Amino acid sequence: MPSGLYAQEKACKQEEKLLSRLQAVDLDTSLMEVLRRQADLLLKGMIDESRLILNTLSQNSKSKNVSPQVKYFLVEVECYL
């Protein structure tokens, strides 16, 4: 979200316009399949990027003095990925 009030109002109006235009789109089966695949790819990309960040953090935590709380957090996050 933009920091300025005017920019926030503009962004909200644009979001509202986009949502109303999306609601008018007829979702046939082929379009739904494309949207499903696109969402799936985006989620996989986010998970892959999260794993990369987690691996980097884990490597750094082994080589430096990191608190037990951070190490515990890293172990917990790894369980979800």
pLDDT at 10: 92
Helix then strand count (H, E) for the chain reads 3, 0
pLDDT at 29: 86
C-alpha–C-alpha distance, residues 20 and 76, integer Å: 40
**3-state SS class at 50:** helix
C-alpha–C-alpha distance, residues 33 and 81, integer Å: 25
pLDDT by residue, tens only, the chain of 81 residues: 678 889 889 999 999 998 898 888 887 888 888 888 888 888 888 888 877 777 777 777 666 666 777 767 777 776 665
At 3, the amino acid letter reads S
CB atoms inside a 10 Å sphere around CB 10: 12
pLDDT at 66: 65
The pTM score is 0.43
